[in-house]
Structure 1
């Protein structure tokens, strides 16, 4: 039975392109952990841009399929998606590395930003930097929603349902 699942996985990966070596995947997840801002939408958009469009390590259909399942699970879907893709490429250690490297750099960045805000938030130019980050993060999220939405919502009825869901949640 293991041979069949291995053959199926091999065929699936050959359709998607070869997964990166563990070291290359490690570097990617570490980089993503340092540059991913904008919450789950921004993080997912960055993953899609890098993994599907730029590096072509996973195809768009597989990425969106995995994203749909992660959205059904409780918890943050961006980290779940990273762990799943890491697991898909390198099994248990790939999932552990992807999850840890996706989260740990952000923790240190948040600690540093929190310290700067508490210690120097009263300084005008530092407060201005923090206020300037808000529209930048909003722009990242808006681009992410548009990018993923145009790929996932293919029919007008899907757009209507998504719009109705947005209105129901936020108003």
Structure 2
């Protein structure tokens, strides 16, 4: 693995612009955000090394709660201290909240109309494509050996298939729902 040559710490305003922009991109969920952060922070701007990014991601995955938000707060804190972490966390959540509020208002007003169902139905494949692209990109960067691939397949299989065994003991609780 080659070492990334890091540039000096970005200005606070430049970091604010990135976190604000990231907050408005809410399609793709956690994996989409992680892919965007890695692509911008590691590959394009080189504000943080790839190994440090994945180390921070591993730590955030151990904590309860949303990994992408925790990763954004951690990287913001690493770049600009407490105020960087707070700004990264606020700008990660606030724009998404406004997007969801606007979509909710539109859905309440026009949700039972045919054209609105078609729009939301058309967004589903786009979001799935974004997620698959993010999985592919992050997987290429994080999985290096056959053992890594085997553990990834085993983890996915366990999550995907063991939910049905879990449903036998807890019939009203499902991890993944394919009903829309």
Q: Do the two structures share a fold, i.e. TM-score over 0.5?
A: yes
Deviations 1:61-112 (A, max 9, x none): 1111111111111111000000000000100000000000000000010011
Gaps of 5+ in 1: 1-13
Instruction: Give per-residue Cα distances to partners, 1:38-83, cap 9 Å, x unaligned.
Output: 1100110011111111222212111111111111111110000000
Distance in 1, matches of 2:98 and 2:86, equals 18
Under a length normalisation based on structure 2, what TM-score does the superposition of the two structures give?
0.84
- SS of 1:28's equivalent in the other structure is helix
Q: After superposing the two structures, state which structure 1 stretch, 148-157 or 90-99, moved more.
A: 148-157
Structure 1-normalised TM-score? 0.88
| TM alignment of 1:1-171, pairs within 5 A | 16-171=6-161
Task: State the shift of 1:23 in Å.
Answer: 0.7
Report if aligned partners of 1:36, 1:46 keep a CA contact under 8 Å in 2: no
What do you get for the CA RMSD once the two structures are aligned?
1.3
Cα deviation, residue 15, structure 1: 5.0
Counterpart CA distance in 2 for 1:87 and 1:15 is: 20
Structure 1 CA distance for aligned equivalents of residues 37 and 148 of structure 2: 23
1 CA distance for matches of 2:149 and 2:5?
A: 29
Aligned equivalent of 2:178: none
Structure 2 unaligned regions, length at least 5: 162-180
More helix by share: 1
Q: How many residues get paired?
A: 158
* In 2, Cα distance between equivalents of 1:57 and 1:100: 20
